[in-house]
Chain A
Amino acid sequence: MKKFVSSLFVLLIATVTVFAAGYSIGDKAIDFKLKNVDNKIVSLSQFSDAKGFVVVFTCNGCPYAQAYQDRLVELDKKYKPKGYPVIAINPNDPALAPADSFDKMISVAKAEGFTFPYLLDETQEVYRTYGATKTPHVYVLQKKGPDLVVQYIGAIDDNYQDATKVIAPYLASALDALIAGQLPETKTTKAIGCGIKDKNKK
């Protein structure tokens, strides 16, 4: 009976993990240790000067992710000096998405002139914990003492097709607010993206 109860408990935990909705605004985010395209391990704790982070789940193969590569470089150049560097993470399983292999991440980072780390979520634990569902999918974290508080979740801006036609630069506005010591006016937004490739998910 004891065994039954404990296996039921394990099952319950497993179910909760699978259906976890991920982070909401105000949640404390986890740090991680993931391999960068330069083969070095990156974790958020290494950025002692940062005031926070723009964690973006993105990839090589998705056209929506591709449409934002230039804009991510621009955002990193503008906001890294202000304390909010971009940290890009590829959440896809390369076995299901060959275009998103680690080798191809290296080529993309080089070709696109990425000024930020581009990490592989090899076990896919990080994206599941954050609750990302697609690429690109952004989480803005703000350091508060030892905590990383989620302050913005969603899209980069409101026009993936044409950067010159953006009306609402959601991510930049959220960062400007945080830098000014305020909270983002728009805290969550939605955009179309490519579903994350995970063999445990149908």
Chain B
Amino acid sequence: MKLIPLILFFCLSFQTSYSGSTEEVKVDVLNFSQLEPLLNQKNDTVYLVNFWATWCAPCVAELPAIKAVEDKYRNQKFKVLLVSLDMPGQVKSRLIPFLLSRKITSKVVLLDDPRQNVWIDKVDPNWSGELPFTVIYGKNFRESHSQTFDFKTLDLIVKQKLNLP
């Protein structure tokens, strides 16, 4: 009987983790109440939260720019969170293989919450729900972008937010 929690643990971890050949990718599936704290962290780090999906072509097109900016400011107080809106049933079959093949190492969570009419406004009242959508926030600022970023544009914003020369 003691084995049951252990078995349960393995089942759950297999649901969300996938062992690739060289690395392990883990994607937590969250509802909005679980995601909300990650959109409102109060410290001196600059956070970039990008809402995307593997099937959204303009979202996929900007991932390399986000990755490059994340790499550039790796030693700064800067963190990236990719919030996937892929179908919850496709984490193992589609999302994780995608992350592995694109070598995406940013933190990724999947938002599974059908109450979109409620939570979209909580992310940003000006957001109508189109993807991609990016929130950049820190201690004293918060801004949203409904556009596909290229490296130069995103780099400029992040550099300015980090108060770097």
Of the candidates B55, B115, B148, which one forms a contact with A158 in the assembled complex, judged by CB atoms under 8 Å apart? B115
Q: Does B117 contact A (CB under 8 A)?
A: yes
A26 within 8 Å of B by Cβ? no
Q: CB within 8 A of B116: which of A162, A190, A196?
A: A190
Interface string of B81-92 (1 = CB under 8 A from A): 000010110000
Which residues of B lie under 8 Å from residue A158 when comparing CB positions?
A: 114-117
Is there a chain A Cβ closer than 8 Å to B146's Cβ?
yes
- Of the 9-residue stretches B5-13, B36-44, B95-103, B129-137, which lies at the interface with chain A? B129-137
Contacting pair A195 B114 (CB below 8 A)? no
Q: A134-B130, A190-B129 are contacts. A197–B116 as well, Cβ < 8 Å?
A: no
Q: Name the distance in Å between B78's Cβ and chain A's nearest Cβ.
A: 23
Decide if A191 touches B55 in the complex (CB within 8 Å): no
Output the least CB separation between A148 and chain B (Å). 21
Residues of B near A170 (CB, < 8 A) are 117
Say whether A194 contacts B87, CB under 8 Å: no
- Chain B: interface secondary structure? loop
Q: Does B147 reach chain A (CB closer than 8 Å)?
A: yes
Residues of B contacting A196 in the complex (Cβ-Cβ under 8 angstroms): 130
CB of B156 within 8 A of chain A?
no
Within 8 Å of chain B (Cβ to Cβ): is A189? yes
Q: Which residue of A lies closest to B88 (CB)?
A: A161
Chain A residue nearest in CB terms to B147: A202
Report chain A residues within 8 Å CB of B132.
195
Do residues B115 and A195 form an inter-chain contact, with CB atoms below 8 A? no
Q: Name the CB-closest residue of A to B86.
A: A63
Question: In the docked arrangement, what's the CA distance between A62 and B130, Å?
Answer: 11
- Cross-chain contact A195 with B117 (CB below 8 angstroms): no
In the complex, which of the residues A158, A160, A195, A196 has the most CB atoms of chain B within 10 Å of its own CB atom? Answer: A195
Q: Which residues of B contact A154 (CB under 8 A)?
A: 117
**A-B pairs with lowest CB-CB distance, top 6:** A134-B130, A195-B130, A190-B120, A159-B114, A133-B130, A133-B128
Query: What would 27 A/B residue contacts be, using CB atoms closer than 8 Å?
Result: A62-B55, A63-B53, A63-B87, A97-B57, A133-B128, A133-B130, A134-B130, A154-B117, A155-B116, A155-B117, A158-B117, A159-B114, A161-B87, A162-B114, A189-B117, A190-B116, A190-B120, A190-B128, A190-B129, A191-B117, A192-B129, A192-B131, A193-B129, A194-B56, A195-B56, A195-B132, A202-B148
**Given A189-B117, A192-B116, A193-B129, 18 new contacts (CB under 8 A):** A62-B55, A63-B87, A133-B128, A133-B129, A134-B130, A158-B117, A159-B114, A168-B117, A170-B117, A190-B120, A190-B127, A190-B129, A192-B129, A193-B130, A193-B131, A194-B130, A196-B130, A201-B147
